[in-house]
Amino acid sequence: MGTPRVFSGIQPTADSFHLGNYLGAVKQWVDLQETGDALYCVVDLHAITMPYDPATLRRRTRVAAAQLIATGLDPERCILFVQSQVPEHAELAWVLSCLTGFGEASRMTQFKDKSAKGGAETASVGLFTYPMLMAADILLYRTDEVPVGEDQRQHLELSRNLAQRFNHRFGETFTVPAPYILPAVAKITDLQDPTSKMSKSSSAPQGIIDLLDEPAAIRKKINRAVTDTESVVRVDDEAKPGVTNLLRIYAALCGEKADDIAARYGDGGYGGFKKDLGDLVVDTFSPIRERTARYLSDDAALDAVLNEGARRARKIATETMARVRERSGFPPAV
Ligand code: ATP
Ligand code: LTN
């Protein structure tokens, strides 16, 4: 088998990543760069599927890359790059869009949710074809594993189907990718609405902990997190979604089992438990926040890392596209 090829992407759609992005995705990315042949991408082409401002996008793309390095991605151990610097992503997305059924794309729940929010008439066609661009990202690099949160499972399934469909119609070309989703952290929920996903676009500020939040803000949000009227700390998704979410966050950050942590606090109320969790999040995020500021203060160094990442990614992408062109009946690129 050899070393698995790992690929994942994150959108530069906010001024900071949040705790759900960190635990559900980026933390796994850091681990997988040690055991896999990993590529990670700031997907700025995906970020323009909703209305946006170019100067804000430019800033957020850099902040996203700086946060990824600050979190532990090492450009010596993985390829870190910005999607729009590798034009083959958009090129393959077109080919895959032509293989996707209109009905099949219409069933994507993320499209249904996001287009319903702003009124379906005004949603962009790019929002509709978003999953085919994501499939292109993954398939260009002959990816084996894709570390993501639970909300991306349906998109992954489409990527698998498109790989198989292309291979079946035109000959073996793509690797069929597998999702890499850790159940314990696959859906971190909103601190104010613990049955909904913590989300950049739909959580209120009090429901979301940002990687770049100041310590006082982090502690305050955890202290005010919605729990329940009991005083016992235990895992129970149905009856205690708020406490269970906090326990999952605690467990993922310290590496202990949620049940063992719960047993330590027992029925002593939530105050001490929340205080300790606040300390744990602050201790994890503060060094990341400080390193992010440092990486952002040296534009030339960050550009050099991203340009080199794009150059390395593009080498693989053009090899795959040469094969796709040949199989699709196109002349070679000149
Ligand atoms: P939005 O909700 O605005 O679409 P997002 O917060 O989901 O954005 P993305 O850039 O779409 O952010 O996601 C980046 C990665 O983080 C993806 O792998 C996604 O599955 C994961 N992720 C996002 N939110 C959570 C969450 N609450 N719990 C676990 N993983 C998450
Ligand atoms: N749609 C993903 C971001 C994304 C992605 C990818 C994830 C774009 N391309 C390729 C994994 C692999 C999201 O998190 N919203």
Angle at 155 between CA 89 and CA 255, to 5 degrees: 105
Strand order in the sheet with 5-10: 78-82, 37-42, 5-10, 145-147, 178-180
Residue 111 Cα to ligand 2 middle (Å): 13
Assess whether pLDDT exceeds 90 at residue 203.
no
- pLDDT at position 205 is 93
Query: Per-residue pLDDT averaged across 9-16, rounded?
Result: 97
171-191 per-position pLDDT tens digit:
999 999 999 999 999 999 999
Residues annotated as catalytic are 114, 197, 200
Q: Is 50 exposed, middle or buried (0-12, 13-18, 19+ CB in 10 A)?
A: middle
Residue-wise pLDDT tens digits, 50-64: 999 999 999 999 999
Mutation pick for ligand 2 pocket among 21, 82, 134 (CB with most ligand atoms within 8 Å): 134
Is 152 near ligand 1, meaning CB less than 6 Å away?
yes
The average confidence (pLDDT) of the chain is 97
**Which ligand 1 atom sits nearest the alpha carbon of residue 11?**
10
117 band by pLDDT with thresholds 50, 70 and 90 = confident
Which has more pLDDT, 39 or 120? 39
Ligand 2 pocket check for 147: Cβ under 6 Å: no
Q: Which of 8, 43, 151 to mutate to test the pocket of ligand 1 (most atoms within 8 A of CB)?
A: 151
In angstroms, the Cα distances linking 115 to 101, 134, 142, 167, 198 are 18, 18, 31, 31, 19
Return the ∠ at Cα 154 (arms to 153 and 157), rounded to 5°.
90
Which atom of ligand 1 approaches the CA of 201 most closely? 3
- Report pLDDT for 326: 98
Q: What pLDDT, on the 0 to 100 scale, is given for residue 121? A: 86
Cα-to-centroid distance, 18 and ligand 1 (Å)? 8
Nearest atom, ligand 2, residue 131 CA: 1
Mean pLDDT, to the nearest integer, of 266-291? 97
Residue 166 has pLDDT above 80, yes or no: yes
Report residue 84's pLDDT band, with 50, 70 and 90 as the boundaries. very high
Average pLDDT over residues 93-107: 98
The yes-or-no verdict on residue 1 having pLDDT over 70 is no
- Average of per-residue pLDDT across 309-317: 98
pLDDT value at residue 312: 98
